[in-house]
């Protein structure tokens, strides 16, 4: 589940007495909501040994079955502010049912109010940026990141705000955080992802733009627009050979990419 799109109602269809394997002919709603897991350990030695139980909370959402009919549940830890944040893990359904317990009350009392607060803050921040109220936007984005420092919308928004104000050093700090976030390059963030990369280049943060698009190409190698964008960053940095190489890759994926053809024609004429 992405940071900016969380369900408003916990939909839990499990209890602790349910079996770990669900018959195929049983109809049920998909798993979605907050669950907990427990880790049992020991501390001390000899007669001072005692058992410890650590409880962790997770946001879980059931995925569609894959081609082999296997079902996985995507789990993401809750941060200290009870927001789903950090790396996601796919857990086979049988393992999930054995290890995780539903936490409906915890979701209603702790998690949902914080998710709602974060969403409201991000919306306010984006409205302020759209209206050109960049200092107000900065305040709101920083408030959102205080709730979830890994929030993709918050990081992109704050970075774009800094770039629009010409504060490249601060924008570079945000860039360093963004390139570590796998979620930043997920399809649901494509609009913000593209805007951020373009603004890195336009802000003359060319090394950062190249690194940014290179990181994106680690996640997907079949997007001609990524090759085109990194080619433009290479060109503006003066790396014409790297520029041409990436334009060729873009054209291999999409032979009808007119902007790439025009760019390559320009490079050929420039050589002459």
Contact assessment for residue 32 and residue 11, using Cβ atoms and an 8 Å cutoff: yes
| Tens digit of each residue's pLDDT (9 = 90 or more) over 72-109 | 999 999 999 999 998 999 999 999 999 999 999 999 99
| Alpha-carbon span 219 to 190, nearest angstrom | 13
pTM: 0.79
Q: On the CB side of 216, how many CA atoms lie within 13 Å of its CA?
A: 27
Smallest CA-to-CA distance from 146 within 136, 161, 158 is with 158
| Tens digit of each residue's pLDDT (9 = 90 or more) over 31-75 | 999 999 998 767 667 667 777 778 999 999 999 988 888 999 999
Task: Find the DSSP H helices in the chain.
Answer: 93-99, 104-106, 112-130, 134-147, 152-164, 168-178, 190-202, 206-219, 224-237, 240-253, 258-271
The DSSP H or E segment spanning 77 is strand 72-77
| Tens digit of each residue's pLDDT (9 = 90 or more) over 172-197 | 999 999 999 999 998 888 889 999 99
Does the pLDDT value for residue 164 go beyond 50? yes
Does the pLDDT value for residue 122 go beyond 90? yes
Q: What value does the mean pLDDT take over residues 225-238?
A: 95
């Amino acid at each position: 589940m992405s940071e900016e799109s969380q369900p408003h109602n916990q939909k839990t269809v499990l209890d602790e007495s349910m079996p770990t394997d669900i018959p195929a002919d049983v109809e049920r709603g998909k798993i979605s909501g907050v669950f907990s897991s427990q880790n049992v350990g020991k501390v001390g030695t000899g007669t001072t040994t005692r058992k410890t139980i650590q409880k962790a909370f997770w946001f879980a959402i059931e995925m569609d079955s894959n081609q082999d009919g296997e079902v996985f549940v995507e789990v993401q830890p809750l941060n200290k502010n009870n927001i789903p944040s950090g790396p996601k893990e796919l857990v086979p359904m049988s393992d999930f049912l054995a290890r995780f317990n539903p936490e409906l009350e915890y979701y209603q009392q702790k998690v949902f109010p914080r998710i709602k607060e974060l969403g409201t803050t991000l919306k306010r921040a984006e409205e302020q940026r759209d209206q050109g109220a960049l200092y107000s936007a900065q305040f709101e984005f920083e408030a959102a990141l205080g709730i979830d420092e890994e929030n993709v919308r918050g990081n992109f928004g704050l970075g774009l705000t800094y770039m629009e104000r010409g504060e490249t050093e601060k924008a570079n700090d945000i860039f360093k955080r963004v390139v570590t976030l796998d979620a930043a390059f997920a399809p649901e963030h494509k609009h913000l992802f593209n805007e951020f990369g373009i603004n890195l280049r336009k802000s003359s943060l060319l090394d950062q733009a190249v690194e940014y698009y290179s990181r994106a190409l680690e996640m997907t190698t079949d997007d001609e627009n990524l090759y085109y964008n990194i080619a433009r960053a290479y060109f503006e940095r003066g790396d014409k050979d790297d520029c041409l190489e990436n334009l060729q890759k873009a054209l291999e994926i999409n032979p009808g990419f007119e902007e790439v053809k025009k760019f390559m024609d320009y490079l050929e004429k420039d050589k002459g």
